[in-house]
Amino acid sequence: MKLRRRMAENFKRDRETLKTLTFRQKIRFFMDYYRWSFFLLLVLLLLLFYIADMISESRMTIDLQGFFINDRQNLFPAEKLIDDFSEYQNTPPGHRIAFEDSLFIDLDSGSEYHAASQSKLVAYIAARELDFLVAPEDLATYYAQSFSLLNLEEILPDDLREYLAEDFYYCTDGTGTEKACGLNLCRSRFLQDPVYDHAESYYLLALSYTPHQEALVSFIRYAYE
């Protein structure tokens, strides 16, 4: 009760003060006396917006999910690829494409960030939520031998399979089966960027459990158009 009365008295006093000030002085008065209130209100609004955005995204169906690992030259900008591929794919309302380019992994490093990135990758694969990953050759080789992967020769249509014949990456995957485990992306649109220094080759690997094979094939076609 006392707090409410005190707030009312302060508000009345501030209102009386404002009547005596010019417009510029009023602005300065608000900046001096209410800046923390405005700051806290802004933080609260941003937090509410973030929560609402998370809730909205969680209710949407993911049509394709991919991770781009160790993209040190920003060759696979996730947000731009999401927008471009969503348009290419004609992603319907209530559905979305989920790409991430913030993972950096060094299997020999003790870095907490590298460990967290590796843990996130493994967790998404264990939960069967990741459809594909793109990684430099050394990591692609390691993951190809660790996980069960799609045979890309079997899922691609004839025209695309013939066009990509020289780019298939053959190896024995985690199940002990030799197959076309991945694609060398050297001829893809991503590595035609002038900033690409050709220091690393990048490979696409597709997880065998993915229920989004049609969208995956569409993404591969998009990558080479």
Tens digit of pLDDT for each residue in 88-106? 999 998 899 999 999 999 9
For the CA atoms of the chain, what is the radius of gyration?
26
| Predicted model pTM | 0.74
Distance CA 96, CA 121 (A): 20
- 36 Cβ contact list (under 8 Å, min separation 6): none
Is the Cβ–Cβ distance between 140 and 180 less than 8 Å?
A: no
Q: Percentage of residues in the chain with pLDDT exceeding 70?
A: 74
Quick: pLDDT tens for 1-24: 454 555 445 545 555 665 665 666
- 66 Cβ contact list (under 8 Å, min separation 6): 98, 99, 100, 130, 131, 132, 133, 134, 219
Is the Cβ–Cβ distance between 210 and 218 less than 8 Å?
A: no
Distance CA 207, CA 213 (A): 10
Quick: pLDDT tens for 29-71: 556 665 666 666 666 666 655 554 455 455 688 999 999 999 9
Give the largest CA-CA distance in the chain. 84
Q: In the predicted model, what is the mean pLDDT of residues 109-134? A: 91
The pLDDT of residue 212: 93
Quick: pLDDT tens for 163-210: 999 999 999 998 999 999 999 999 999 999 888 888 899 999 999 999
Instruction: Of 136, 164, 154, 144, give the one whose Cα is nearest residue 207.
Output: 144
Q: In the predicted model, what is the mean pLDDT of residues 140-155? A: 94
Homologous superfamily in CATH for domain 63-223 = Periplasmic binding protein-like II (3.40.190.10)
- 55 Cβ contact list (under 8 Å, min separation 6): none
The pLDDT of residue 195: 87
The pLDDT of residue 55: 53
The pLDDT of residue 4: 53
**Residue 162, H or E segment:** helix 158-163
Q: Which two tokens stand for residue 213?
A: 């094979």
Is the Cβ–Cβ distance between 135 and 147 less than 8 Å?
A: no
The pLDDT of residue 7: 46
The pLDDT of residue 3: 44
Instruction: Of 35, 26, 76, give the one whose Cα is nearest residue 192.
Output: 76
Strands 132-136 and 168-172 turn out to be unpaired
Strands 132-136 and 202-206 turn out to be antiparallel
What are the two backbone dihedrals, phi and then psi, of residue 203, each rounded to the nearest 5 degrees?
Answer: -125, 145
* Residue ranges per structural domain of the chain: 2-56, 63-223
